Amino acid sequence: MLQGAFRDGEGQIHRGLVTLPFPLFNSVAWTVPKEEHSVEIDPPEKTKAQRAVALLLKQFGTPSPGLLVRVRSNIPIGYGLGSSTADVIAALTSAATALGIRLSSAELLRLAVRAEQASDGTMFNSRAVLAAHREGFLIEDFARPLPPIGLISINCCPDSPLLTLDFPPARYEAAEIDHFDDLRRTLRRAIVEADQALLAKVGTESALINQRYLPQPSLLDILDIAHANGALGIQVAHSGRMVGLILPANLDRFDRPVSAIMGGVQELGIVPMFISRLQ
């Protein structure tokens, strides 16, 4: 919903983001004992999850037990849906439970960033947070969920997935960092007042700033469709190719604004997905 660079209480600048929960996709994990005194991840290509569990054992000084952690996910990779973070959190939570270790959300964030290099704030569930996603701490905890919204989610470039670490972090200008601080204040107000329109303003302005650094195909056309049909604004995944058109939370799939937007998006050659309510 919001991604940029933000000042802390001492004026230091940190890269940070506010994650929009996406309930249709998830990762799950379960842990079973095995005879060999080692930790195995299934499938083995989920190397970040493997690294995270190894870091968990090292942090808590736990001897390597015989564990098999199975991770399963329906999250597409490379489109900004947080697939690797979801795998890491699922694996960590499952392994920790098996070992009798209690992990806070803050500890999950720190371990995830160490395992992935860049993570997001999904481990805080519905609580809105501004996470320093490359450093592993919270810049701000808003202590409440984002206002409820409807969403039309689209993959604006399905043939070109993009992994977070494949492109360099944006080098924001000073004026843009000032703008991000303004958006952070606006987001704080949107959360306190449960104001969908203010939330959409934050998402739209964040998306337009980041369009300079990670261009999304057809973004301005998508924004025109949003404005012409009563959408509140847009939001863009912090990496990858997912774009969301933000709608009032009370709209149904068959309401005119929804059908008009979905038709307009389809004319761009993009397949939309309507989600009736996100929070």
Residue entry with tokens 């290509």: 45
pLDDT at position 232: 97
Instruction: Write out the E strands in the chain.
Output: 2-7, 13-18, 27-33, 39-42, 67-73, 129-132, 137-141, 149-155, 233-236, 242-247, 272-278
pLDDT at position 227: 94
Same domain, 58 and 157: no
Question: Does residue 139 form part of some domain?
Answer: no
Which of 72, 90, 123 is at the close of a domain? 123
Which of 123, 158, 182 is at the close of a domain? 123
Determine the Cα–Cα distance for residues 185 and 30; give it in Å rounded to an integer.
Answer: 40
Q: Are 246 and 150 in contact (CB under 8 A)?
A: yes
Determine the Cα–Cα distance for residues 9 and 22; give it in Å rounded to an integer.
Answer: 30
Determine the Cα–Cα distance for residues 146 and 138; give it in Å rounded to an integer.
Answer: 16
Same domain, 98 and 208: no
Determine the Cα–Cα distance for residues 212 and 173; give it in Å rounded to an integer.
Answer: 11
Same domain, 109 and 50: yes
Q: Model's pTM, two decimal places?
A: 0.91
CATH number at residue 149: 3.30.70.890
Determine the Cα–Cα distance for residues 60 and 15; give it in Å rounded to an integer.
Answer: 28
Question: Does residue 138 form part of some domain?
Answer: no
pLDDT at position 77: 80
Phi and psi for 125 in degrees, rounded to 5? Answer: 55, -125
Domain that holds residue 77: 27-123
Same domain, 60 and 155: no
Q: Are 88 and 60 in contact (CB under 8 A)?
A: no
Same domain, 172 and 257: yes
pLDDT tens string for the chain (279 positions)?
Answer: 999 999 998 999 999 999 988 778 899 999 998 888 788 999 999 999 999 999 998 888 777 677 899 999 998 887 778 889 999 999 999 999 998 999 999 999 999 999 999 898 889 988 999 999 999 999 999 999 999 999 999 988 777 666 666 678 899 999 999 999 999 999 999 999 999 999 999 999 999 999 999 898 899 999 999 999 999 999 998 777 889 999 999 998 889 999 999 999 999 998 888 887 666
Contact partners, residue 15, CB within 8 Å, separation at least 6: 4, 5, 6, 132, 133, 134, 135, 169
Question: Does residue 1 form part of some domain?
Answer: no
Same domain, 149 and 231: yes
| Beta strands 67-73 and 39-42, pairing class | parallel
Same domain, 165 and 258: yes
Same domain, 90 and 195: no
Counting the structural domains of the chain, the total is 2
